[in-house]
Amino acid sequence: MPAPITLTKRRPPARPPPAIRAPRSSECDVLRPGNTWRDSSAVWPGCTIGARLFPPACNVWSGGPKVGEHDDSSAPANAVSGNPTASTAQRQPALASAPTAAPPKYLWLTGRLVPWHEATVHITMIGWPAIGAVFEGIRAYWNAERQELYLFRLDEHLRRFGQSMKLMRMRPSLTLEQIRAGVLDLFRANEVREDSYCQPLAFTGGQVWGSRATADQVPEILITTRPSPSALLSGRASTAGVSSWTRISDNVLPPRIKAMPNYANARLASHEAQRHGYDVPIFLNTAGKVSESTGSCLFLVRDGVAITPPITASILESITRATVIELLNDLGVPVQEREVDRTELYIADELFFCGTAMEIHPVVRVDGYEVGAGMVGPIVARLERCYHDIVRGIDRRYERWLTRV
């Protein structure tokens, strides 16, 4: 009897993504009039709707987030370029096959530098220990002209890291000052001279089975760095959709801290957004009011006033959000922290997300409704330029937020 024939489905070759032109500095300050959705570059000069969150040059070490990804889920997992009205099937995937850069020389583990390839744990550590882990995300920006690297709001991030450990009943053996010194030592040891993302992570080792945990456990503290090119002033903009998944609340999984379990909620919403052809999801909370996105907070602009949901709207106590509120006030833009209805998203003049990894990220369509004129608005444009100049150390008025490595 002849052997059965097995048919193997062949995967078509990946299509290369279109290049994204970074706008000239003059284009970041003044928007060209007359742009419409009929021209896919009309969102911003040189920009396409759904453009990648990170520039195509973002090749990171194996195992790290690729283009269009990052570890706290604030980037759409399938941010794409192309026709804004195209279906999901017609859109090109954001993740392109590209060689990854070499991993860094070192990571930092509970007080000492460890060569990257020597840092291992037992396979059983994948699972239950992770449900109690907390982390922090910190950006570093390279100023090529001055040949200097700046960590943005390092102390505020580490303070929140300490609060996350406290809430998860961890009792670290190291002080925040020692962890701060570890961050700086790691950047220097790895000789970082590019935009980067730093992630401190606290986790409990040993034999942990099930959800039962011992209070006041002493965690291991892991710190890693990886390349993460900034997308500020790159001309990116995204579409968003309100998710059917409700944002976790403070009496379920407290979203005000950065705990690993919280991100299952974000992953479900991100998958749904991809299926429906949106780049980024927007959560409503249990009260049916606008909350935030997956790893980023939300602002809208109506009649010249910037509006953002309050801290009690099931959102992260975002350091970038606090930064944006201060910058908007300095730019003369009134800010309201209040409950936001879903329909306000549809009639907003401008809308954007903000977060450490997301930075300042304009949104030009929500649930099929154009935001304002369907292009990046003037307030978001000014804010993005201002934020860029601060994190690069160009605007010296906010040097208190920068830590030189």
Q: Which residues are catalytic?
A: 258
Largest CA distance in the chain: 82
Structure tokens at 262: 């919280």
* Cα(405)–Cα(391) distance, integer angstroms: 13
* Cα(9)–Cα(38) distance, integer angstroms: 37
3-state DSSP assignment of residue 266: helix
* Cα(305)–Cα(128) distance, integer angstroms: 45
Chain position carrying tokens 């099930």: 210
* Cα(18)–Cα(119) distance, integer angstroms: 38
* Cα(364)–Cα(40) distance, integer angstroms: 12
Other CB atoms closer than 10 Å to residue 144's CB: what's the count?
9
Instruction: List helix spans (H) across 57-175.
Output: 154-167
The radius of gyration of the chain from alpha carbons, rounded to an integer in Å, stands at 21
Which residues, listed in sequence order, are joined to residue 285 by a DSSP beta bridge? none
